[in-house]
Amino acid sequence: MQTQDWQLEQERLESVRSKLQARITELEPEVAGMRDQASEIRKRFWEEVTINTSTHEDFEETFYTINQQSAVLAERERGHMRLAQQWNNMKRLLPSPYFGRIDFQEKGLALPDQIYIGVSSFVDEDGLSFLIYDWRTPIASMYYDSSPGVASYVTPIGRIDGTMELKRQFQIHNGEIRNMFDANETIGDQLLQQVLGKGADSQMKSIVATIQKEQNAIIRNDTSRMLIVQGAAGSGKTSAALQRVAYLLYKHRQTISADQIVLFSPNPMFGSYISTVLPELGEDNMQQTTFQQFLDYWLGSSLRPEDVFDQIEYVLTSHGAPGYEARLQGIEYKASDAFLQALQNYGNWLGQEGMRFNSIRFRNRDLITAEQMRAKFYGYDRSLPLLNRVVLLQEWLLKELASLERKEREESWVQEELNYLDNDQYADIFEVLHKDKEVFDIAEQYAKVREKIGNKRREDEGDFDFAQKEEELLGRKIVKERFNPLRKGIKKFSFVDIKGIYGDLFVDEAAYREKTNATFIPTLWPEICSQTKESLLQNALFHEDATPYLYVKEMIEGVRTNTEIKYVFVDEGQDYSTFQYEYLKKLFPRARMTVLGDFGQAIFTQATNLAAADSPLVRLYGEAETSLFSLVRSYRSTKEIVEFTRAMLLDGDEIVAFERKGLKPLLTRSNDREKLDAQMVADIASLRAEGFDSIAIITKTAAESHKAYESLQIQGGEALQLVTKETFNFEKGIMVIPVYLAKGVEFDAVLVYDASSGAYGRDNERKLLYTACTRAMHRLHLYMTGDWSPFIQAFPVDLYEESEAYTTE
Ligand SMILES: Nc1ncnc2c1ncn2[C@@H]1O[C@H](COP(=O)(O)OP(=O)(O)OP(=O)(O)O)[C@@H](O)[C@H]1O
């Protein structure tokens, strides 16, 4: 790079920075002023309006004044937000205003444009010349998509053709150009090398300066209803997803806001890991949740749904336990398309027979029996959908209940309860009654009606037996209060016995076949049935039953929907079953979906292959509305680690390593676990000394994490953090973590605690080991006593180094 170029760029940088600084200083009082104004209006809101409701006209006038005042307030607040956002953007730009430049000669124009690209736009005083272009503008897409030469970009009014004459990358810190490269490649590897060579952080970073072409296509795709990304470990799926959120928020800033986007993440800790990316880009965070939180919310009060982590812990630790094989078959079947179809058929069957209801009981007797409900329900027109009939039944029940409530007032317990009211309670209710104008009106009306019906002269005030009437009213009130929970229950459909209806699926094979028309039934069905019933009996739900249960519940009670959400993102999408996707589709009917995942990391039994030709995901919205992207280049790990890890997968050949050099993975064995633990502690110390701050000891299960944590401490391991499913914050340091909780995150160095054939020998453990090893950015160590996992034994020996544990106690 010419010194002169460098100097010119530094001068331009200084000029842009001083303009930024000047604008920030200029806006500062305005921003503060608007804030004060808005809060002043808010404070004086009620002083400005006179509430007058004496006549209809006064009321209307009051109403309009309030509306007007709130419109003024809202406008000021919007103005303040816009200004504050501009101001914040400029402050964010100041230390490093841009990271890229392209010179673009548009066809037909005389001179090329210099386009500088940063995290947001900045326009010169003339209001026309862009000193910095936001990375999300159409013109900036060329920076990611094209190399110098013929280039074009698409705007809302059509395609613009021309030639890219220069493409330059910058690393700018605190107003100084630290590095500058002219790139021939789409995005020069040099800069990416530097970025990827850095240490892991407890928070993910934005990648806008080095987005790769194939990632850019995902970020900017705005046509598909369903966008599926299958990508190797470390290929930037999560990164692409987050920059995509920022892109959508920019492109649709007039119509959508961050809270209309929801991201499903694999565990709560992951939420903390990615929480700073969007704010770093000047955008608000989208909503974040886990599927588990959803299940707990919708099922939690009536049943205890097992969480996915307990399920996987069972799968990984209970081999050979009674019922294990059946449970495994059950997990697989209950996540399948076949079961979904069976439940839909079950819905039709229930339309004709077999609905179960809960009697409505009061004071130890049935007010309305399940039998009455069944008769009523099947008395409705059978061509009506199940759901409509349930609603009709609900309406009928509410009416019935109202008349039963009236009758109940005559029951002796009401009088008894009145007698038992102590003086204070009586006085309280009495007082309330007196204050309650409505109740007086009722008493008054009651008197009038009596007068009419009985054709009797209305008693004088003095004749009116207030004591008696009030006692009646008290009685009513008591019954009403007691009936309230029943009413609420009916409104919440508690008269439908969902538990019984779901349980009826698991009686025996013949019944199941009859109710569902199922053609395929797992071989261990009788055992699956007894396990499921047993768990329901204890008011618990296996994880694999939770979503199907919810599906049946909603088939009968109606689907809860959220029409506000416009985009749904599912990270680690391979871990969701067909059911879960069907459920998400129903829950968010107006949303577009982006699903990112890696079948190579499908460690849960209910996995979905995102990219398979018959993937249920493609069927969800249909092929025409679905786009499938594939990312094969792995950015996280060094070349040596990628070459080692991809050899674990059956189809790992297509994974491409990014050219970043490091040490080969190190395999350490010993016959003595204590000695091995001592070796691990010594290795951790030397990794720390080399400057690696984030180190994970990855175990297969939570149980093994506890054991490892304790024995490493005994061997002198200090400052270890034990990560469990309850850990919400991802912190830098040395952590002991089960592999399924380390999904999606990364560490400078990974130490696999036990890579023996005992730990990772079965076929379903291959992907677990792959997931564990692919968390490593710079160093990977594996330890074991006994024999190496067969997935490692099969490797060519030049993929790793070997050593014996040498430390002695
Ligand atoms: N274009 C890029 N520029 C710089 N860094 C990148 C780029 N793409 C990915 N990375 C980095 O690579 C690492 C892995 O990215 P990310 O976590 O998004 O991958 P992933 O596909 O979601 O991985 P996994 O499936 O293993 O969870 C991160 O450190 C990320 O910052």
**Which amino acids are annotated as binding site, given as ranges?**
231-238
DSSP label of 356:
-
CB 615 within 8 A of CB 608: yes
Query: With a 6 A CB cut-off, is 213 part of the ligand 1 pocket?
Result: no
Q: Nearest residue CA, atom 25 of ligand 1?
A: 233
- Closest to 498 in 3D by CA, of 302, 333, 348, 304: 302
Query: With a 6 A CB cut-off, is 635 part of the ligand 1 pocket?
Result: yes
Query: With a 6 A CB cut-off, is 532 part of the ligand 1 pocket?
Result: no
| pLDDT of 461 over the 60 cut | no
| pLDDT of 45 over the 80 cut | no
Q: Nearest residue CA, atom 14 of ligand 1?
A: 234
Angle at 225 between CA 223 and CA 227, to 5 degrees: 85
DSSP label of 564:
S
Instruction: Write down the pTM of the prediction.
Output: 0.85
Element (H, E) at 674: helix 673-689
Phi first, then psi, for residue 693 (nearest 5°) are -95, -25
CB 506 within 8 A of CB 292: no
How many residues are there in the chain? 809
Both tokens of 79, joined, read 């103005």
In angstroms, the CA 496 to CA 394 distance is: 10
Both tokens of 440, joined, read 């007086």
CA of 637 to the centre of ligand 1 (A): 9
Query: With a 6 A CB cut-off, is 243 part of the ligand 1 pocket?
Result: no
Residue-level pLDDT at 76: 73
CA of 195 to the centre of ligand 1 (A): 11
Residue 406, Cβ density class (10 Å: 0-12 exposed, 13-18 middle, ≥19 buried)? exposed
CA of 633 to the centre of ligand 1 (A): 10
Q: How confident is the model at residue 808 (pLDDT cuts 50, 70, 90)?
A: very low
SS3 160: strand
Q: Nearest residue CA, atom 5 of ligand 1?
A: 207
| pLDDT of 44 over the 80 cut | no
414-423, 559-568, 636-645, 719-728 — most confident range: 636-645
In angstroms, the CA 272 to CA 286 distance is: 13
Both tokens of 117, joined, read 């690209």
Query: With a 6 A CB cut-off, is 646 part of the ligand 1 pocket?
Result: no
> Of residues 202 and 226, which shows the higher confidence score?
226
**Which amino acids are annotated as binding site for ATP, given as ranges?**
231-238
CA of 216 to the centre of ligand 1 (A): 13
Calculate the alpha carbon distances from 180 to 7, 192, 807 in Å.
11, 13, 47
- Cβ atoms within 10 A of the Cβ of 745, count? 24
Q: How confident is the model at residue 764 (pLDDT cuts 50, 70, 90)?
A: confident
CA of 196 to the centre of ligand 1 (A): 9
> Of residues 154 and 454, which shows the higher confidence score?
154
- 586-637 pLDDT, tens digit per residue, is 999 999 999 999 988 988 777 788 877 778 889 899 999 999 999 999 999 9
Residue-level pLDDT at 203: 84
Beta strands in 432-497 (DSSP E): none
* pLDDT-above-90 percentage for the chain: 62
Residue-level pLDDT at 809: 44
Residue-level pLDDT at 486: 95
Element (H, E) at 766: helix 766-773
Residue-level pLDDT at 715: 87
Query: With a 6 A CB cut-off, is 680 part of the ligand 1 pocket?
Result: no
CB 706 within 8 A of CB 743: no
| pLDDT of 202 over the 90 cut | no
CA of 200 to the centre of ligand 1 (A): 11
Query: With a 6 A CB cut-off, is 98 part of the ligand 1 pocket?
Result: no
CA of 234 to the centre of ligand 1 (A): 5
What is the three-state SS of 370-429? HHHHHHHHHHCCCCCCHHHHHHHHHHHHHHHHHHHHHHHCCCHHHHHHHHHCCHHHHHHH
Residue whose token pair is 């079950």: 346
Q: How confident is the model at residue 668 (pLDDT cuts 50, 70, 90)?
A: very high
In angstroms, the CA 354 to CA 514 distance is: 12
130-134/113-118 β-pairing: parallel
- Closest to 487 in 3D by CA, of 499, 477, 495, 478: 495
Query: With a 6 A CB cut-off, is 242 part of the ligand 1 pocket?
Result: no
CB 361 within 8 A of CB 486: no
CB 568 within 8 A of CB 264: yes
Query: With a 6 A CB cut-off, is 774 part of the ligand 1 pocket?
Result: yes
Query: With a 6 A CB cut-off, is 638 part of the ligand 1 pocket?
Result: no
Q: How confident is the model at residue 52 (pLDDT cuts 50, 70, 90)?
A: low
Residue-level pLDDT at 85: 85
CA of 16 to the centre of ligand 1 (A): 31
In angstroms, the CA 723 to CA 664 distance is: 27
CA of 564 to the centre of ligand 1 (A): 30
Q: Please give the full DSSP string across 236-272, using - where no structure is assigned.
A: SHHHHHHHHHHHHHHHTTTT--GGGEEEE-SSHHHHH
- 391-449 pLDDT, tens digit per residue, is 999 999 999 999 999 998 888 888 888 777 666 666 666 666 566 555 556 656 666 66
CA of 240 to the centre of ligand 1 (A): 8
- Closest to 494 in 3D by CA, of 364, 370, 343, 363: 370
Query: With a 6 A CB cut-off, is 266 part of the ligand 1 pocket?
Result: no
In angstroms, the CA 570 to CA 289 distance is: 10
Query: With a 6 A CB cut-off, is 215 part of the ligand 1 pocket?
Result: yes
Query: What's the mean per-residue pLDDT of the chain?
Result: 88
Both tokens of 323, joined, read 């019922």
Calculate the alpha carbon distances from 568 to 221, 224, 226 in Å.
14, 13, 10
Number of the ligand 1 atom closest to the C-alpha atom of 572: 25
CA of 655 to the centre of ligand 1 (A): 14
Number of the ligand 1 atom closest to the C-alpha atom of 196: 5
Q: Nearest residue CA, atom 27 of ligand 1?
A: 744
Residue-level pLDDT at 630: 94
Write the single-letter amino acid at 696. A
Phi first, then psi, for residue 340 (nearest 5°) are -60, -45
Query: With a 6 A CB cut-off, is 679 part of the ligand 1 pocket?
Result: no
Find the range with the poorest average confidence among 3-7, 167-171, 451-455, 551-555.
Answer: 451-455
- Mean pLDDT on 144-163: 93
Q: Which of 207, 598, 633, 747 to mutate to test the pocket of ligand 1 (most atoms within 8 A of CB)?
A: 207
Asked: is 658-804 a CATH 3.30.70.1400 domain? The reply is no
CA atoms within 13 A on the CB side of 595: 30
CB 746 within 8 A of CB 200: yes
Residue-level pLDDT at 611: 78
